[in-house]
Structure 1
Amino acid sequence: MASIFTKIINGDIPCYKIAETDDFFAFLDINPNAKGHTLCVPKKEVDKIFDLDEATYNGLMAFSRKVALAIEKAIPCKRVGLTVIGLEVPHTHVHLIPLHTMEDARFIQKEKLSSEELQEIANAIKAHL
């Protein structure tokens, strides 16, 4: 069965898309730790990041870097943190989180944003790609 991320990639579930290539997809997390919290995923559905083939793994890191650089330009923050946890969805994904304090990296703190705010954030990040 397709993961929720595959359904997002296929357009079956709406998202706030940031970027897309033939192999990768980036979109805003709808339960963000901080404004601009973005997920980068390979289009190939693989559960664990270290089960990706080397080319896809390296491609995901390069794609995530480009998106992180755009986030830094669009969202005022001290830096963009990267984390891979992967327990909540069985589809490899990288979290890119704009950080102001270490609390922003904790997954118990969530921002509540309206759909308008999410769209504004997505547009701001896309403008820097």
Structure 2
Amino acid sequence: MPKVSKQSATQIQEFGPVTDRREEMDGYTVEFVSFAADADLDGPLQALPDGACQCPHWGYVIAGRMRFVFGDQEEVYEAGDAFYQPPGHRPYVDAGTEVLQFSPTDKLASTEQAIADWMSRGQGGTP
């Protein structure tokens, strides 16, 4: 069985104050994400239907606090909470938050491509 840790992840990306360490495992991407500053994707998510992330995520909040808004609902997750977010959410993350997240690789790639396209058009900086 494959495994990955924050230290062994082979793909490391820096997006300003956000560090993403990841590995693909049998169709899912496992991410260890750290936020050194508050973050939201309201601008970049405008490139997606309803201005929301269309990729489902399962995860665990290692440290800090994050909030997901979807439709007329809001969910807050703090250190120690496991979560599932269906497509159609908008994430807001506090500085100091660390998350372990699992996402279908194909859906995550589509979301990230839309965000990258939005940013390359000069419509934003880092999330």
Q: Relative to total residues, which structure has the larger helix share, 1 or 2?
A: 1
Q: Relative to total residues, which structure has the larger strand share, 1 or 2?
A: 2
TM-score where L is the length of structure 2: 0.35
